[in-house]
Structure 1
Amino acid sequence: MAPSTSPSPVFDPDYYPARLNATLHSGRYEILRKLGEGVSSSSWLVHHKQGEPGYRYLAAKVLTIDATERHTTGQCRELEFLKEIAARKETDYLPLLRDDFVEQGPKGKHLCLIQDLHSTSVSALRRSSPHKALPAYMARNIISMLVKALEQLHEMRIVHTGDEFNSSLASAEIYREKVGGVRVSPSPLR
């Protein structure tokens, strides 16, 4: 199923009311189409008008008012971890934060995270396959990239706590507080 090109017919006021051809960050990013939507954000293909060649088309993850408030109060630290990842030299398998800002909507503030575009999700790729399964070589490549990404996160003492790779990141310290007694060694599985 192709991503929709406009907001849902039933608009949830917690989401930013993005419209095609509207701009974000004082005109810097033009919204071209919707990429997807989750529980706490919507994602949009944007054109960076002053972007350097090769980085003119990016993804804008626009958080809901509630998710933005969780960042403000320190309950969610995704932005902090994305900035830490962006400061590293080796981020081949991790999302790279290009910009972040707050956009004012009619009902409240929305944190916007601008990142490089990535491919479709593994689930969507699998569903689009003729047999609804990935070929072995593709599954091996995906697993290899996932392990390398987790290795890079582990080296930064960031633990991925979600059941999907793109869901949530937490520091090892927070994970220890929640789970208790977790030993995090700086050396990854090899």
Structure 2
Amino acid sequence: MRPRICPAKRLVREILPLCSPRSPLVRRPFYPSPSVRHPFFTPKMIDHLQYTAGVPAEDISRYGPGGYHPIHLGDLLKDGRYRIRDKLGFGSFSTVWLARDDEKQMNVSIKVVVASKSEEHNHELEILERVREKGDPQHPGRKHVSHLLDSFYHEGPNGRHLCLVLELLGPKMSLVAERRPGYRLGGRLAREISAQLLLAVDYIKSCDVAHGDIHMGNILFRLPDSKQVPPAADTCRVGKVSKKDRSPVEKGVPEYVVEPAEYGFQEGQQHLDEIQLVDFGQAFFISCPPKSINTPMSLHPPELVFRHPLTNAVDIWNLGSTTYELVTGRTPFEADFDDRELIPQFQKVLGGVPEQWIRDALGNGVLAEKPDESSADGFLSLEEEIQRSYVNGHDSETLELGEKDLELLGRFLRMMLVVEPEKRATSSELKTHPWVSGKL
């Protein structure tokens, strides 16, 4: 029986491929933080080893010309309309802040993009504008997608920064799941959320958009009230930035950094039952797909592993993988060092990979040799994996899903976890499946 990977081990296993000489793709290291799509570069790199801050936060070296904008609590943006109250997170190309919209008397999140990525025709901005403007307002999936409320540019010492204003949301699905027994949600809630996620995928598809990076870290719970004034950031999460040699900090570096808050998360909360799909940094227009995407390695769809052309079917694959994880607390496939390790698992769990795919991969250099099927000896068929992951090691009295429910889940996943993307079900076809249309 393959052991479940704890979050810490998952982090190590996902970071290691970044150093693997065999790996031709840049990987997203782990769920909470966006990937480094290209090496981060600014005209003047700051040596972070010279600095100390005292709290876990973004890399100081990413401040400077072209990099992060230095933000402090209480700062005002867009002519005083938005007041910074706390930090929500950060990634390679942005920091994200909780702000108060004094004009509309509501709380929002503001994503402040690094100056080097804040071009006039920013891809993520174009995607968000399409999702906001082209979709049917009556579509049931619209409310399950992050929507752009406002956008503007802000001049700072490190350049001109695009600021994206979005609805303030609660905790990440991954955070909530990691604090639950078995690293998973209750069966009923998992089923409800998988239905909401499917509606979100169907909605963005109607806008000619594919998300490209669906996973537990990009699903956030909605909050019941965005009007209440949030408390100020806890001072224990604020760390003064200083140089180890006590010399003055460089221009463009903040006076202090803030450890991100786990905003909206409290143990035992009952209102965590509605989600939004967020982070469109890897999204693409279906009519103009990219050659590659960055998503957690264990979730790479077969077409990405084999370096085939991508379509919006990647969202269907990752919808299936995420649904599996919502229910069982683990991903259906696991990769340690290279996504080609997934190929024997596809063969074992799903029943096979087209022989022509293997021959082509051997011919074009994607594979140096035939996949070693013995490397997947710990895996079972999809249906057996569901049964083992959900039932084994858990008190049967606490399980909300019965045998028939798991059989239904297996049939649902079989429609999505199909190696050949053109044979996967569409979101329209999936909406009629009893797993999402029926009741427990």
The CA distance in 2 between the partners of 1:38 and 1:93, in whole Å, is: 22
Aligned to 2:171, the other structure's residue is in SS state coil
Cα distance 1:59–1:136, how it changes in 2: closer, same or farther (>3 A)? same
1:188 matched to which residue of 2?
428
Query: More strand per residue: 1 or 2?
Result: 1
> Which one scores higher on RCO, CA 8 angstroms, separation ≥ 6?
2
The CA distance in 2 between the partners of 1:187 and 1:9, in whole Å, is: 39
Q: Please, which of 129, 143, 156 is the counterpart of residue 83 of structure 1?
A: 129
Structure 2 gap ranges (5+): 1-54, 219-277, 293-307, 314-425, 432-440
Tell me how far 1:12 sits from its aligned partner: 2.5
What percentage of residue pairs aligned between the two structures are identical?
Answer: 24
Cα distance 1:187–1:32, how it changes in 2: closer, same or farther (>3 A)? closer
Give the alignment's TM-score, normalised by structure 1: 0.81
Deviations 1:123-172 (A, max 9, x none): 11111224422211221122111111000011111111124343432100
Cα distance 1:64–1:150, how it changes in 2: closer, same or farther (>3 A)? same
Tell me how far 1:103 sits from its aligned partner: 0.8
2:303 matched to which residue of 1?
none
State whether structure 2 residue 72 is matched by structure 1 residue 19. Answer: yes
The CA distance in 2 between the partners of 1:123 and 1:151, in whole Å, is: 22
The answer (yes or no) to whether the contact 2:289–2:310 under 8 Å persists in 1 is no
Cα distance 1:9–1:19, how it changes in 2: closer, same or farther (>3 A)? farther
The CA distance in 2 between the partners of 1:143 and 1:106, in whole Å, is: 43
The answer (yes or no) to whether the contact 2:284–2:290 under 8 Å persists in 1 is no
1:134 matched to which residue of 2?
185
State whether structure 2 residue 175 is matched by structure 1 residue 124. Answer: yes
The answer (yes or no) to whether the contact 1:95–1:115 under 8 Å persists in 2 is yes
Q: How many residues align?
A: 179
Query: More helix per residue: 1 or 2?
Result: 2
Cα distance 1:183–1:30, how it changes in 2: closer, same or farther (>3 A)? closer
Q: Which amino acid aligns with 2:83?
A: E
The CA distance in 2 between the partners of 1:140 and 1:25, in whole Å, is: 41
Q: Which amino acid aligns with 2:90?
A: E
The CA distance in 2 between the partners of 1:183 and 1:169, in whole Å, is: 10
Tell me how far 1:177 sits from its aligned partner: 6.8
State whether structure 2 residue 82 is matched by structure 1 residue 29. Answer: yes
Give the alignment's TM-score, normalised by structure 2: 0.37
Tell me how far 1:6 sits from its aligned partner: 9.8
The answer (yes or no) to whether the contact 1:7–1:34 under 8 Å persists in 2 is no
Larger Rg: 2
The answer (yes or no) to whether the contact 2:58–2:90 under 8 Å persists in 1 is no
Aligned to 1:19, the other structure's residue is in SS state coil
The CA distance in 2 between the partners of 1:144 and 1:154, in whole Å, is: 15
Structure 1 gap ranges (5+): none
Tell me how far 1:174 sits from its aligned partner: 1.7
The CA distance in 1 between the partners of 2:312 and 2:172, in whole Å, is: 31
State whether structure 2 residue 285 is matched by structure 1 residue 171. Answer: yes
2:144 matched to which residue of 1?
93
The answer (yes or no) to whether the contact 1:6–1:20 under 8 Å persists in 2 is no
Cα distance 1:9–1:182, how it changes in 2: closer, same or farther (>3 A)? closer
Q: Which amino acid aligns with 1:150?
A: V
The answer (yes or no) to whether the contact 1:7–1:18 under 8 Å persists in 2 is no
Cα distance 1:105–1:123, how it changes in 2: closer, same or farther (>3 A)? same
The root-mean-square deviation of aligned C-alpha atoms, in Å, is 2.8
1:106 matched to which residue of 2?
157
Cα distance 1:57–1:11, how it changes in 2: closer, same or farther (>3 A)? farther
Tell me how far 1:7 sits from its aligned partner: 6.1
Deviations 1:11-51 (A, max 9, x none): 63111111101111111100000011112111111001111
Tell me how far 1:9 sits from its aligned partner: 7.9
